C-alpha cells in the first residue's frame, strides 16, 4: 500500500529547495480529497518583488517582504480560483502562528509535517500557540516520519 503522506512530504521537501533563502527552506503542498494537487508554495519573495543585492543583505528590510510557504500556496490557489476548503496541507516545517491563521481562513482541514524535526527552543512558544489555534479551529495536525518507505 502506498504511503501518500510520505510521498507528499517528499514533494513538499523538493519544492522547499526552490527557496531563495537557504535559512527559510520551507515547502507546502496542498492536496484535495482525491489526493489531487491543489496548490504548492515555498518560502520566498512574493512575485513582482525584486530580490536585489541590497534586499538580500539587509535582513531587516528583507524579512517583512518574505511570504511563508503556506501563504504562497494559498495566494496561488486564490489566483487560479482553486478552493482549499477541506484539503490537506503537507509542509516541511510546522506552521507558525501567522501561517496557521492563514490555513484556518483558507479552510484547510488537516496539516501534516515531518515527525523527526528538531524545533529550536526560540520557536517552541510560537508553535505551541499555533497548535492551540489549529486545535480550536478543528484542524487536524499530524506528524509522520518523512523517511518511511514510500513504496
| Active-site residue set | 70
Q: Residue 52 and residue 70: Cα distance in Å, rounded?
A: 24
44: left (phi over 0), alpha (psi -120 to 50) or beta: left
Nearest alpha-carbon partner for 68 in 28, 17, 11, 125: 28
Amino acid at each position: 500500500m502506498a504511503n501518500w503522506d510520505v510521498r507528499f512530504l517528499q514533494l513538499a521537501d523538493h519544492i522547499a529547495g526552490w527557496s531563495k533563502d537557504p535559512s527559510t527552506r520551507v515547502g507546502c503542498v496542498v492536496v484535495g480529497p482525491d489526493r489531487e494537487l491543489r496548490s504548492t508554495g515555498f518560502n520566498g519573495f512574493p512575485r513582482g518583488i525584486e530580490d536585489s543585492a541590497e534586499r538580500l543583505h539587509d535582513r531587516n528590510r528583507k524579512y517583512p517582504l518574505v511570504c511563508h510557504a503556506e501563504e504562497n500556496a494559498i495566494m496561488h490557489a486564490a489566483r487560479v480560483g482553486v478552493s482549499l476548503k477541506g484539503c490537506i496541507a503537507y509542509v516541511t516545517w510546522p506552521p507558525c502562528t501567522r501561517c496557521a491563521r492563514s490555513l484556518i481562513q483558507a479552510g484547510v482541514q488537516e496539516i501534516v509535517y515531518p515527525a523527526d524535526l528538531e524545533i529550536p527552543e526560540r520557536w517552541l512558544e510560537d508553535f505551541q500557540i499555533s497548535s492551540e489555534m489549529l486545535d480550536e479551529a478543528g484542524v487536524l495536525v499530524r506528524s509522520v516520519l518523512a523517511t518511511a518507505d514510500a513504496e
